Structure formats: structure tokens, C-alpha cells
A = this chain, B = another copy of it.
């Protein structure tokens, strides 16, 4: 019943401190870049992925706001929120709108403006991704929740903190070649081991930086663009699933059951297995999340995620290349925008536009965007025929 859809335009801003721009301006830059890339000046719908605008910019109703700002006055427009998974959730809403036939073009933009609120307001706002009554209200910040998960993981599966180093080292190395990345700085094993503590055992080099930024994609029916001269990136799988917000409510706090549910559905839709995935932009908000995501998606056995990092299998020429443009760790994590950055970056890989960190012959790519500590997980699989 659904028709195949394609991404014909991508756009992004640098992830940075953008003190001089309001949220509409940041979003607008990415939308206009994506429309330019798609050589289109119209759309039928705009889906905005954003988590924090009410709290940090005192601005809701972003759909109408951004539509007007970019010259799309009047189009259908809404904001989609699923904490740090808002970006991919917005892309999924745009995909559904086009694949259903309701629209012939939809734009999804993820945007976040976080810098002004740092450190107190933003930390408090980010805690709203967790369970306000049973986690945040007990004084748990978002990083503290992830620290408890990592501590337990180290205990149960007998890893040492240093075994996670390559997740961060790889991300920083890749970001050196991404002009839009927040951090351009390689890091060493020694620096990782000595980084100052944030919430033990998570140190500064386990944690992704916040930032201001936006990324956008233009979604259309694939059938209309089959004869374009550019490589056509199509959506082969799109699925979303949820888990409890509070980590303590889960049968196994070290297993991302929402990731497993959404990725299984996406694999099935795309007719692929983990072995077919050439590049995987995962949600490395904290290094522990890379391990959990690799396991839930079938790239590593339970408790064995760090092995792929230790064996250097996660670089652009490794067995499963991840965070090829820097990931959340080094490209940066403007929370509601991150899921769209991931999809833009995989599209770059599939088009062969990823420069120094290009994955050779990348034909099938995957993204996984996580809201909360595994509560909302959205997986996309993209393909290209070149």
C-alpha cells in the first residue's frame, strides 16, 4: 500500500555555539540548504524535530514559525518530539506523509539551540527526557542515569573503562574531516584515560557535547526521481519503538529492547541482515550507548560491544563503520537535530560524498536515534543504486 520514498536533498549547519542566531534562523539555514540541494523551492509539509525549544528559547509552534521563515508560508507544519530521538521521529513522520500519498514532498528538519541555557537550564531541560517523577525528581541528571548504566555494564560484563576508548578516539578522528563537526581535535588513549570525571565512570571523553545546529532532508516519492543523474538514496526501512522511560523499570537495564524491536522491523522491511549494513550512524551520546546499540542491532553478542572498538572494527574501513562524520561525540549532539544529522551523514556516505572518511562502496546504511536512555528508538535503513 505504501510507496517507496527517496531523499533528494540534504542540508546542515555546523554544530557550534550560535549565539547570534535564533532557533528559526538555525533551522532555516538547514532547510534552505536541503531545498537548494534538491533544486526545489516548494514542499507540501514541514516536520520539525526538536526537544527543548519551549524551555531554552521560550518558543513552541516551531512548525508554523520555521515554515514562514523559509518562505513556505501556509504549508502543513508540526513539531515532533521524542526527546533526543526527535530528529529521526520527524524524518519518519515526513516519510509516512509521502509514502502514504498524502504529500508529494515533505521536508524534515531537526533543530536545537542549547548553548544559551548552559549549564544549569540545559541540564535541567535535558533531564525531561528521563522520568520526571521517578528519576529526575530524585536528583538524577541525564548523564548520571547513563553513568549508572555504564557502571553496571562494567560490573556485569567485566570490561574496564579504558576498553571503551576507541569509540571516542574513532569519533574524534572522523570529525577532523567533517567541517560541520563541533570538535576538531584528535584524542589519544592517554587523554581518554585521564579526562576529568563527569559522573563516574563517565568522563568528559565518554560524553557528547551539546551544541546549536540543524539538519534537514527533502523526502519525495522515489518513482518520480528514478532517472535523476545523482545517485538516488531511498528509504528501505523505517521503524520506531519504545521502552520504559525509567531505566530501573526494565527487566534488563543493559539491553536496549526498543532498539532491538525497531531494528528487527527495519531489517525485515529492507530485507537485510546486520552483515549487509555498510555504515551505521549510531547514537553515541555516551560511549556506553555505542556498545549497547551495536549489541541490540546484532553486530555484537550481548555484553561484547566494546570488542568491536578494541579490535578497530568501527573505523571507515572496519567491519562496521560507525560515527563516520564524528558521531554525537565529536560532530556534536544538538539533541532534537541529531537524528537528522545521522540521516544526512549516511546519505553523504551512500552518495559517495563523505570525503576522507568515505566508507568504500557504501550501498546500505543505517541510522539509530535514541530518545531518553533507550526509551524511544527510531531506526532507518537507506539504500543507493549507483
Please tell me which one of the listed residues B55, B75, B97, B130 contacts residue A241 in the complex, with CB atoms under 8 A apart: B75
Whether B100 pairs with A64 at a CB distance below 8 angstroms is no
- The answer for the CA separation of A80 and B65 in the assembled complex, in Å, is 15
Contact of B60 with A243 in the complex, beta carbons under 8 Å? no
Q: How many copies of the chain does the oligomer comprise?
A: 2
Binary per-residue interface labels of chain A (21-63) against chain B in the complex, 1 for a CB within 8 Å, 0 otherwise: 0101000000000000000000000000001111101111111
Q: Are B55 and A55 in contact (CB under 8 A)?
A: yes
Contacts of A96 in B (CB 8 A): 96-97, 100, 102
Beta-carbon contact of A61 and B74 below 8 Å: no
CA–CA, A53 to B82, complex, Å? 12
Judge whether B245 and A61 touch: CB under 8 Å: yes
One of A121-129, A149-157, A307-315 contacting the partner: A121-129
Interface segment among A11-19, A131-139, A319-327: the answer is A131-139
User: With A and B bound together, what is the CA distance between A60 and B24 in angstroms?
Assistant: 21
Please state if A22 and B133 are interface contacts (CB–CB under 8 Å).
yes
A263 at the interface (CB under 8 A from B): no
Is there contact, CB below 8 Å, between B136 and A240? no
Judge whether A93 is part of the interface by a CB distance below 8 angstroms: yes
How far apart are A112's CB and chain B's nearest CB, in angstroms?
A: 12
Q: List residues of A (349-386) whose CB comes within 8 Å of B's CBs.
A: 371-372, 375-376
Whether A61 contacts B1 by the Cβ 8 Å rule is no
Q: A74-B243, A76-B241, A100-B99 are in contact. Are A125 and B54 (CB under 8 A)?
A: yes
The answer to whether A2 touches B242, judged by C-beta atoms less than 8 angstroms apart, is no
Quick check: B2 and A261 within 8 Å, CB to CB?
A: no
Say yes or no for A228: interface residue by CB 8 A criterion: no
Any chain B CB within 8 A of the CB of A179?
A: no
Q: A74-B258, A128-B54 are in contact. Are A67 and B100 (CB under 8 A)?
A: no
* Distance A65 CA – B376 CA, assembled complex (angstroms): 9
A222 touches B (CB below 8 Å): no
A66 vs B239: C-alpha distance when bound (angstroms): 19
Q: Which residue of B lies closest to A55 (CB)?
A: B54
Check: A244 CB closer than 8 A to any chain B CB.
yes
Q: Which 8 A-B pairs have the closest CB atoms?
A: A100-B100, A1-B101, A64-B242, A61-B83, A59-B132, A64-B375, A60-B128, A79-B81
